[in-house]
Structure 1
């Protein structure tokens, strides 16, 4: 008997890309190892930020009063923006590298890199803000301030002796560390969308990790 093609169109296909419990558990251990390595790599990210983030020049008078230079006010935002961009780029790189591990593609790896890169961003912020002080040239330079400009009045007078030094950069908002996690998750998901395969070309079964 010839099957009716109209009936065959509604035959339910076997789902593709559904991971078994054994496969998910098999992904857990290598993902945890990768998470530790990714989180620790935040130390390098923090060092890079501390080296490139600009400090803020500040003038201090003999009385102890200090004020940042008007031309340096944007550096507070610049330091935070640089950290945000570095963290986002760090997350994208981790997401792409994680996607290249074909035999580990799946929700465990996605969740793992999201958590690990966010932790790496926090490590980078912690390390970077502590390295920024020693890496910033804070040797004071003697300067003379115009008394009329310093006092904000039209009254003239002898210049005011002061010192010019650089304040180390800071990260204005803690939420910038989330850029790393968001970048990693988005990069991973975009790779999956671009591939367009339900099983993400992952081989069946846990299988050994291929040699790089």
Structure 2
């Protein structure tokens, strides 16, 4: 039985969620099974308590789902050139997977969204790769044979798919961004088959 590919994201306004769903579409177009999950907002632990299950949208990820995936697409909006605190908080809780080597050798890719063209997309994508490398995952980017990397006026990098709202707070993805998400999902599904 082929294990699903986990598409794990955090999204506050919806852009990163839209990217996640397009990457999942690419995974499924290539014959893979995408499992879309999110992480909860973090709180100070005193005044705000997050529900155990989201009231709407995609379910929260479990550690069992992470351990049992055949590949991973990881997404977060940019926060000062880095992944959002909620996603970092989740990865800080994965020490048992690191000790067990449960992610070792599995393919992974990253994706992000920002409000401005130079809002830290590439540094965020690179920072999200770091815990994946420590877990022994095989990192995949987007190769330049994807024509939209040469023509995009919005998001898209060789480090991973991305979205730029250009300060308009728009969560709508451009056609180039959609094409690159789908290409990234297809590439991840291919790698999961080859490495699985």
Fold shared by both chains (TM-score > 0.5): no
Q: Which has the higher helix share?
A: 1
Higher relative contact order (CA 8 A, sep 6+): 1
Q: Under a length normalisation based on structure 2, what TM-score does the superposition of the two structures give?
A: 0.25
